[in-house]
């Protein structure tokens, strides 16, 4: 389909120059026809416009049609040019075709023949242009595909490097407790053979249990991480009271010794809808870190605050704190943190605990943050949405105002 072809007619015969555009406009829908009475004038127009076809008389004073054709071939090699020859001027017609003309039209001009020839020329021209455009689009597409392949390859290489780093860290981490277990087992074996005292054996077994525990945490963390990364991590949420949950966790954590100082808004539950095991895992992880990274005897507190439709569990320690440059990566696994390399047997952990904690809290529609000053300690805050009973008539404004629901100081 042609869309409004733009045609140029060049002829020194002014009468023809007036008659032809009219004839073409009548026979070719939407055609726009420009005219020029000289080859030089035509060249100027050709420089300014992209014509779909050019029709020119061969015999013109000054530059003739053949010279104009040669110029068009230079200037617009794709534009089809039709030359008008006198009746029986076969030589000129052949010259025109050899010079690159698309067709020739004999005088006297048969209007229908001219229109048919023009239509053919324009159609061929437009088809050629379409092919060119498609070729260009294909080339662009091929280039973008190439870029994508290159990008994906780079990503794969990076992912592979991350995996290698991960395996390196995991093997270092597993090696330490394993070496310890092996040494302890050999020692106990020798002592058994020599029938040493039960006290020595007991110490050895305690030591082994610690190593086994460490490996257990590691393996569980690895399993959780793999579930998270493959989108198979499931939480089973149930309505529960966060005050009771925290109290129970602290009791377990302090092995029944209980917190040293307690404040609880008696009888005021903080209702949430959570997977108690998973939220428990987060809190125990934060408490263990607080204990691990603060000196013995320094206080650790767990505070439960409520504000609006959210509650915040904060765990505060007065320990070593977190270096500023590490804080942005604290909730990412070490193997993904830039510039973190783990030394063999460094006992530094995999950095999975906080990562898993963040994922668990996020799965509950909450978030976890840290505020820390090196040398002064850290506060980890877990923010969870409260359970809102859709059937409840109205909520007490006092309940929505920020207030502390409970606080426990933990013996350390």
In the complex, which residues of this chain contact ligand ADP (CB under 6 A)? 289-290, 293, 317, 319-322, 330, 348-355, 378
The nearer residue to ligand ADP, 83 or 342, going by C-beta atoms, is: 342
Shortest distance in whole angstroms from residue 333 CB to ligand ADP = 8
Task: State the nearest-atom distance from the C-beta of 272 to ligand ADP, in Å.
Answer: 23
Q: Judged by CB, which is closer to ligand ADP: 80, or 319?
A: 319
Q: Which is nearer to ligand ADP, 158 or 348 (CB)?
A: 348
Pick between residue 65 and residue 319 the one whose CB is nearest to ligand ADP: 319
CB of 384 vs ligand ADP, minimal distance in Å: 19
In angstroms, the CA 49 to CA 28 distance is: 19
Q: Closest separation between CB of residue 198 and ligand ADP, Å?
A: 34
280 vs 321 by CB, closer to ligand ADP: 321
Q: How far apart are CA 71 and CA 43, in angstroms?
A: 8
Q: Is the distance from CB of 104 to CB of 84 less than 8 angstroms? A: yes
d(CA 397, CA 394): 9
Q: Provide, rounded to whole angstroms, the least separation between the CB of residue 371 and ligand ADP.
A: 11
Which of 161/348 has CB closer to ligand ADP?
348
User: At closest approach, how far in Å is the CB of 310 from ligand ADP?
Assistant: 22
Which among 294, 318, 304, 237 has a CA at the least distance from the CA of 268?
304
Q: Are 298 and 412 in contact (CB under 8 A)?
A: yes
Task: Kindly state the smallest distance separating residue 145's Cβ from ligand ADP, in Å.
Answer: 40
Beta strands in 269-330 (DSSP E): 271-274, 300-307, 310-317
Residues 6+ apart with CB under 8 A from 163: none
Q: Of 85 and 294, which has the nearer Cβ to ligand ADP?
A: 294
Angle at 261 between CA 256 and CA 264, to 5 degrees: 95
What is each CA distance from 349 to 206, 213, 214, in whole angstroms?
21, 13, 10
Count CB neighbours of 402 within 10 A: 10
Q: Is 77 exposed, middle or buried (0-12, 13-18, 19+ CB in 10 A)?
A: exposed
């Amino acid at each position: 389909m042609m869309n409004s072809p733009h045609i140029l007619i060049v002829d020194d015969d002014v009468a023809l120059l007036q008659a032809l555009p009219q004839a073409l406009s009548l026979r070719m829908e939407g055609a726009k026809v420009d005219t020029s009475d000289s080859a030089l004038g035509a060249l100027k127009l050709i420089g300014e416009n992209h014509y779909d076809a050019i029709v020119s008389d061969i015999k013109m004073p000054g530059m003739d049609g053949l010279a104009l054709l040669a110029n068009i071939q230079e200037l617009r090699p794709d534009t089809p040019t039709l030359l008008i020859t006198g009746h029986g001027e076969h030589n000129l017609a052949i010259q025109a075709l050899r010079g690159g003309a698309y067709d020739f039209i004999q005088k006297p001009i048969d209007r229908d023949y001219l229109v048919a020839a023009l239509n053919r020329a324009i159609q061929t021209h437009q088809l050629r242009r379409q092919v060119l455009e498609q070729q260009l689009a294909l080339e662009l597409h091929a280039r973008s595909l190439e870029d994508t392949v290159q990008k994906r390859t780079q990503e794969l290489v990076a992912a592979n490097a991350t995996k290698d780093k991960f395996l390196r860290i995991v093997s270092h981490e597993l090696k330490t407790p394993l070496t310890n277990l092996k040494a302890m087992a050999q020692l106990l074996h020798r002592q058994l053979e020599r029938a040493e005292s039960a006290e020595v054996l007991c110490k050895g077994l305690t030591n082994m249990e610690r190593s086994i525990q460490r490996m257990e945490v590691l393996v569980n963390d690895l399993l959780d991480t793999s579930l998270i990364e493959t989108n198979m991590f499931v939480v089973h949420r149930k309505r529960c009271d966060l005050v009771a949950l925290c109290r129970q966790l602290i009791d377990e954590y302090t092995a029944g010794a209980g917190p040293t100082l307690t404040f609880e808004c008696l009888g005021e539950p903080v209702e949430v809808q959570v997977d108690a095991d998973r939220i428990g895992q987060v809190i125990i992880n934060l408490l263990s870190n607080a204990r691990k990274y603060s000196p013995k005897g320094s206080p650790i507190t767990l505070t439960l605050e409520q504000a609006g439709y959210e509650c915040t569990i904060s765990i505060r320690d007065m320990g070593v704190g977190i270096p500023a440059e590490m804080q942005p990566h604290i909730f990412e696994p070490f193997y993904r943190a830039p510039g973190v390399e783990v030394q063999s047997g460094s006992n530094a952990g995999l950095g999975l605990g906080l990562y898993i904690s963040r994922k668990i809290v996020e799965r509950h529609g909450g978030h976890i943050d840290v505020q820390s000053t090196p040398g002064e300690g850290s506060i980890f805050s877990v923010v969870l949405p409260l359970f809102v009973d859709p059937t409840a008539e109205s909520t007490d404004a006092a309940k929505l105002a920020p207030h502390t629901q409970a606080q426990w100081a933990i013996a350390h």
